[in-house]
Amino acid sequence: MQRRTFLCTLGVSCLSLCVPQITFAASKALVVYFSKTGEQYGVGVISKGNTAIVAEMIAKKTSADLSEITRVDDTYPKTYQALCDVAKDELTKKVRPKYSMSITDLSGYQTIFIGAPVWWGDWPMVMYSFFEQANLAGKMLIPFCTHEGSGLSEFDKKLAKACPKSRVGQGLAIVGRDAQKHSAKVDTALDGWLKKLAAQGVVF
């Protein structure tokens, strides 16, 4: 009897030792995103960007920190047509615009969700500035995008190429207007995706 109690106590104390360690190991994830307000395709003039909406939902679901990437001297036009010209020009010249973000120390994050709109079938150039200049080595990067028909547009492959020292997880594409108008649909898509990522061993 006494031996059994002893074993039980030993078991419980072992467990209690383990539990805080598990919570400790599961460090917080970070959601980093770039998104534009103003006039966007198919949704008119918006006050919150499509990608911003999705990023916030991911951060909420995973209790992750959230940080927006902005362009220093944001000279992007506010109309869709003009923005397309500027974005294409940046893309063909492979410009690396200066970026800024509220969280600069990324050392504490093992998993980083990275999202942006699809611009001309690619990441906006400012995202490449982030990929190339931030220290992302050894981290698990999960790409996501909003788009109007192009899908993920190989964001995963392009991210892996830009950050060869990081691991890249399975990405997700959300239709931009769904983010504005059909949040229930986006919600289900996110749940399914996060579940899959968790099953693949991604920690968040």
Ligand X SMILES: Cc1cc2nc3c(=O)[nH]c(=O)nc-3n(C[C@H](O)[C@H](O)[C@H](O)COP(=O)(O)O)c2cc1C
Stretch that binds ligand X, among 92-100, 105-113, 145-153, 193-201 (CB under 6 A): 145-153
Select the residue interacting with another protein from 28, 38, 41, 162 (CB under 8 A): 41
Residue 80 makes contact with another protein by CB under 8 A:
yes
Given a contact cutoff of 8 angstroms between Cβ atoms, the answer to whether 67 and 99 are in contact is no
CA distances from 94 to 31, 56, 154, 157 (A): 25, 29, 17, 17
Measure the N-to-C terminal CA separation of the chain; round to a whole number of Å: 43
Residue 50 makes contact with ligand X by CB under 6 A:
yes
Select the residue interacting with another protein from 46, 53, 54, 152 (CB under 8 A): 152
For tokens 């942006």, the residue is: 116
Residue 118 makes contact with ligand X by CB under 6 A:
yes
How near is the Cβ of 147 to another protein at its closest, in Å?
7
Q: Is 98 left (phi over 0), alpha (psi -120 to 50) or beta?
A: beta
Residue 88 makes contact with another protein by CB under 8 A:
yes
Given a contact cutoff of 8 angstroms between Cβ atoms, the answer to whether 155 and 145 are in contact is yes
Select the residue interacting with another protein from 43, 70, 71, 120 (CB under 8 A): 120
Select the residue interacting with ligand X from 110, 111, 129, 146 (CB under 6 A): 146
Measured between alpha carbons, how far is 125 from 82 in angstroms, rounded to an integer? 16
67 makes contact, choosing from ligand X, another protein, none, with CB < 5 to 8 Å by partner type, with none
Q: Is 65 left (phi over 0), alpha (psi -120 to 50) or beta?
A: beta
The contact set with another protein (CB under 8 A) reads 41, 80-81, 84-85, 88-89, 91-92, 118, 120-121, 147-154, 173
Please give the residue ranges that form the binding site for ligand X (CB under 6 A).
Answer: 35-36, 40-41, 49-52, 80, 83-84, 87, 117-121, 146-150, 176
